[in-house]
Amino acid sequence: MRHLYTFHLIEAVARTGSMRRAAEDLSLTASALTRRIQRFEQEFGARLFERLPNGVRLNPAGELLLHHYRATLSDLARVQGQVADLAGVRRGHVSIACSQAMLPYFLPEQIARYRTEHTGVSFSVNVRDRTEAEDELRTFASDLALVFEPVYLVDFEVIHVVPQEVHVIMAPDHPLASKPEIRLRDCLDTPHVAPSAQYGVRYLLDLAARRGSREVSPVVETESFELIRHYVLHEKLVGFQIPIGLKATPDLVYRPISSRDLPPGSLILGQMRGRTLPVASARFAMQLATALKDYEIS
């Protein structure tokens, strides 16, 4: 426990890549911060940083130590939650990394529902692409991840999986809106706005297009799903998203792309493999897993 503050200092240096910048962020002098870390290195028996021309970075020993620190904080949070439960007080903090599609409807509903019963629990919602979300779990920056088509799944322990079809979104009077079946070729032949390459929807679109010797060539490419939802109302084109992030309105309709062209992708709820979650996060994960069943393809 007595070294936790020093670990906090080490994490700050690792994050900024500079003793000077970390000291400024921590309201310390650079010399005081350097001495504190050097004393710890002597006691620990190993150096933690290697010097670079423009700063420092963790060496392998430092990486191992920082992982230990983050795991220790996670264990402390779990025990604090258990102690709060013993006292009949439901407290804690839940951090979740998620795809943008979770923001408009699903997560606000689920967080509000959870906090109705557990008002002492706070939340951090970190919007991340599918690669960043997995990294958040690995570094303990987030307890949970809810992402469409994760990339690696090496440190990802799957809690629940929901298939999601990629949908075309458009204005009600768009020519594709009246078709009984929407084929991918129809979408690619129509001016379209699409997510950037790092998102799961775009990954599936590119994969399916290549199989048909085609390519996705958006007139607008963006990291914002909100921009996609709004832009299709300004120009006669189509966009792409998964249905959990959509809701039909008088101005917007959405339809699935034929599974003959584009099979469903996977929306996955997970945590870091082997980690015991804090009480609040574990309970929220159970709630999410139950709620996600309502979004399974019938």
Backbone angles phi, psi at 139, to 5 degrees: -95, 10
- The pLDDT score that the predictor gives to residue 206 is 96
Beta carbons within 8 Å of 97's beta carbon, 6+ residues apart: 126, 127, 128, 132, 133, 136, 137, 141, 142, 144, 145, 146, 147
List the one residue out of 288, 268, 282, 284 whose CA is nearest residue 134: 268
Query: Which regions of the chain are under pLDDT 50?
Result: 86-89
Amino acid at 166: V
Three-state DSSP at 92 gives strand
Number of other residues whose CB lies within 10 A of the CB of residue 20:
14
Number of other residues whose CB lies within 10 A of the CB of residue 18:
18
208-219: per-residue pLDDT in tens?
Answer: 999 989 999 999
**Does pTM surpass 0.75?**
no
Angle at 144 between CA 71 and CA 76, to 5 degrees: 30
Domains, the chain, in order of start with CATH, read: 1-88 (1.10.10.10), 90-164+266-295 (3.40.190.10), 167-263 (3.40.190.290)
- The pLDDT score that the predictor gives to residue 88 is 46
219-239: per-residue pLDDT in tens?
Answer: 999 999 999 999 999 998 999
